[in-house]
A and B are shown apart, each in its own frame.
Chain A
Amino acid sequence: MRDLNGDDIEALAVGAWILGTGGGGSPYHGLINMRRLYRQGTRVFLMDAQALEDDDDVAVVSNMGAPLVSQERLVDSRLTARAVELMQEYLGRRFRGVMSIEIGGGNSIQPLMAAAHLGIPVIDADAMGRAYPEAQMTTFAVGNLAPAPLTSVDPRGNEVVVTRAADWKWVERTSRKICTEFGSVAATCKAPRRGIEVKRWAIHGTTTKAIRLGRAVMGANRRHDDPIDVILEAERGKRLFAGKVIEVERRTTEGFLRGSVSIEGERRDRIQINFQNEWVVVWRDGAPLATTPELICVLDSDTGEAIGTEMVRYGQRVTVIVLPAPEIFLTPRGLELVGPRAFGYDIDFRSAFAS
């Protein structure tokens, strides 16, 4: 168990944004919630997943909905805590710790906010290792773990428990519907996990990883080193391409932001990246260069800061890198859920690190 200090949380926000792989929403509101809580003397502890007992109960939290709506509703740490409390009330048991469903983007801070109010530790793990657009795109779904119950709350005092769901797709559908009624944003506590399930199926050490990544970038910028070199070294990543954004095309379908961006290099060569909230496939001359589940990150070439699919625009100078995927997503069941076909691309997954 270790004490997270203020600098850790600042670094977490930077690192989690990079692990958002283009989506996941900005961690900024979560960060200022935490700054305020820390100023009031609150402290949050980080607990190793392996330190859990098999029959411990672990809460899994996330903020659901459109990032744009959160920009107006803002994020409230008490609401996340309330979703966890509601789950405790429903289960009649208390949680040993709380973890995030996804370490990429704003959800990385959600367990810290709940932990701050509930006085339980954050478990150093998540179920995506990055950001993904849909609830069934998790290691817990890979493990065929129970998809329900789920709690969902809004700030007006509306609280819903989804007690049962036929499968992961159904829990996504019903909870999405509730979220839409709440105003397209809701604090949710996903299906709770036993300690043994977290140890077997979660991706471990991802909070620490995000903090390490954030510290690397912040340190490089302070020292005027190349932050991208530092990221690649720290996470054993690969530099795919560098250039200027020359075209961006976006559309919303089924509530997702889909589209593509073209990047032109110094030698006039081009790549194209397709996205569905997050970056999904990088193409060169009609052939895939990198695909999900490997982490495709588009970074500002100067600052190393991640650029999201909502904000990418013509003229930006960017570097595209790829980071290794968690092993569990490279299994047949993993690729079925988060491989290129899960996003509608009829191609086989081939690691960008293979060539």
Chain B
Amino acid sequence: MKRIGIDVGGTNTDAVLVSEGRIEAAVKVPTTADVTAGILAAMRMLRGQTGDAHQVGAVMIGTTHFTNAVVQHRDLAVVAAVRIGAPATTALPPFCDWPEELARLVAGGTWIVEGGHDYDGRRFMPLNLDQVRRAAREIRTREIRDVAVTAMFSPLDPSHEDMVAEILREEIPRVSVTCSHWLGGIGLLPRENAALLNASLVPLARRTVDAFARAMAESGLDAPLYITQNDGTVAVASYAAALPVFGFASGPTNSMRGGAYLSKLEDAIVADVGGTTTDFGHLQAGFPRQANSIVQVGGVRTLFRMPDLVSIGLGGGSLVHPDRMTVGPQSVGFRLTEEAVVFGGSTLTATDVAVAAGLVEIGDRRKVAHLPPALIKGVLDRAHAMIEVHADRIKTRAGDVVLLAVGGGSFLIPDRLQGVSRVVRVEHGGCANAVGAAIAQVSGEVDQVFQGIDRPEAISRARTLAEQRAVDAGADVRDLTLVEAEDIPIAYLPGHALRVRVKVVGNIAVGSEEPSGDRHDSR
């Protein structure tokens, strides 16, 4: 089956056509403000290289749009937070550990109602339906349409979250609800934070995914659309639009997966140099190493599976400050081809310096011929030092490692680096992110506490649940593999309490355009 992988970054939109494991075409165009035009341009160029687009079986798109929205505080919806857990939890209300500025933008009010469960599945308190109705009506009066619902121990028993979501849908026209148990495991605050961020991004995610779909249609493609996820897999577009936080780190993840695929390397440090940032990650057995604990997104503590990454403000579009001999963290972003000196602009960027040094041929080299050699050397030395330090930070042990250089700005990475045995570059490395998207599978994950059943039974139940989630996200039910099963006994709980994490992956289901469980509409 032919697949198209597209990565919409802050600077560039990359697209590849992959057929039978071969890269048949790869293109790179500037990202446009409305996203769609960039994708259309990329699709046109792809078609120019390959001709017919008819046999494409799937299109997978990855985007940093949602993370950027959080980090840059734009396009975020105001969110009402409904928490189920009173009279407990009230000392630490929703948004209590958010950065103040972001909370001011997003927090549309908090309601803590009686209800929730305990670790052993008993009810903590009966759900107080009067309080829920009152909260729903107040939210309606405030004209808030995006709501995050978080109940105590909902990963064990989601029923109170589901009941509240139902009431909110009854009371508030066109409401969009995010339930915390869709997103994360035990840990009320980080799970709630994930739900709040998610709710805040749903309107943007819907618009973005709609724009993707329109771009597909305008390109004459009639293939199912998938959106790439943090763990290097994909989900059907409607599922992804309801759960944008699962796509937060898909850009760097795709680069790492694509880099692994192109280089056949299973273990390596990956440096993905984009237009604005460089992301360092660690490939282990072909997959990005996962961050084990709390992950901060825009200063918000969240808890869902993300790759372990170190990011710095260095990329092809990074601004050069000639007087200070520094580079970044500001970047011209997707305006590189208008503002960079080699393209006739007036802003000196890292790309201009690299062109002047002969590291890459982009734009018009004569336009940077006037740059003094001392400046070129100073800026490149500075960039190399930044790369060296951060490549070391992502390592798990001392000693030299292989560094895989990918991304459109990888010309900034020198061939020799301290602590690196060799720097590997691959054909199509500039589009590794799009390749990673094109080769992705579908996954389902569970992180839940089980009580009163033995270990094999607990793992088996978790697996069944994970498989259902994978199928909901678009996986082929006949083709699911267990890739991870981890169980952690829990201290100070009577009986046999076991926390189980399970992940399954499978190939995308072919032919089923709208897979069974669209999470957003499911009850």
Q: Are A75 and B152 in contact (CB under 8 A)?
A: no
Docked pose: A302 CA to B389 CA in angstroms = 13
Q: Are A71 and B491 in contact (CB under 8 A)?
A: no
Q: Are A317 and B88 in contact (CB under 8 A)?
A: no
**Chain A 135-173 interface residues, beta-carbon cutoff 8 Å to B:** 155-157
Q: Are A74 and B189 in contact (CB under 8 A)?
A: yes
B282 nearest in chain A by CB position: A315
Q: Scoring B residues 271 to 301 as 1 if CB is less than 8 Å from chain A, else 0, what string do you get?
A: 0000000000000000001001100000000
Residues in B with CB closer than 8 Å to A313 are 292
Q: Are B188 and A71 in contact (CB under 8 A)?
A: yes
Q: Scoring B residues 86 to 97 as 1 if CB is less than 8 Å from chain A, else 0, what string do you get?
A: 011111100011
Q: Are B119 and A74 in contact (CB under 8 A)?
A: no
Of the listed stretches A60-68, A199-207, A280-288, chain B binds A60-68
Q: Are A71 and B186 in contact (CB under 8 A)?
A: yes
Taking the nearest CB of chain A, how far is it from the CB of B293, in angstroms?
7
A69-B119, A78-B91, A156-B125 as given contacts; A257 in contact with B398, CB under 8 Å: no
A73-B152, A266-B398 as given contacts; A184 in contact with B492, CB under 8 Å: yes
A72 within 8 A of B: yes
Of the listed stretches B165-173, B217-225, B494-502, chain A binds B494-502
Taking the nearest CB of chain B, how far is it from the CB of A307, in angstroms?
10
Quick one: which of B153, B289, B490, B492 has the most chain A CB within 10 A?
B492
B151 nearest in chain A by CB position: A72
Docked pose: A157 CA to B398 CA in angstroms = 54
Docked pose: A302 CA to B488 CA in angstroms = 26
Q: Are B396 and A75 in contact (CB under 8 A)?
A: no
**Chain A 57-106 interface residues, beta-carbon cutoff 8 Å to B:** 65-69, 71-79
Residues in A with CB closer than 8 Å to B493 are 66, 68-69, 184, 252, 255
Q: Are A67 and B492 in contact (CB under 8 A)?
A: yes
B489 within 8 A of A: yes
**Chain B 338-384 interface residues, beta-carbon cutoff 8 Å to A:** none
Docked pose: A155 CA to B92 CA in angstroms = 13
B153 nearest in chain A by CB position: A72
Of the listed stretches A7-15, A28-36, A118-126, A208-216, chain B binds A28-36
Docked pose: A310 CA to B96 CA in angstroms = 25
Given A252-B498, A313-B292; 13 other pairs, CB 8 A cutoff = A65-B492, A69-B118, A71-B186, A79-B91, A183-B119, A184-B492, A251-B489, A252-B489, A252-B496, A255-B492, A277-B491, A311-B293, A315-B396
Chain A interface (Cβ < 8 Å from any Cβ of B)? 23, 29, 32-33, 36, 65-69, 71-79, 155-157, 180, 183-184, 244, 250-252, 255-257, 266, 277, 302, 310-311, 313, 315-317
What are 15 sample pairs from A and B whose C-beta atoms fall under 8 A apart? A29-B189, A66-B119, A67-B492, A68-B119, A68-B491, A72-B152, A72-B188, A73-B89, A184-B494, A244-B397, A250-B489, A252-B490, A252-B498, A316-B396, A317-B397
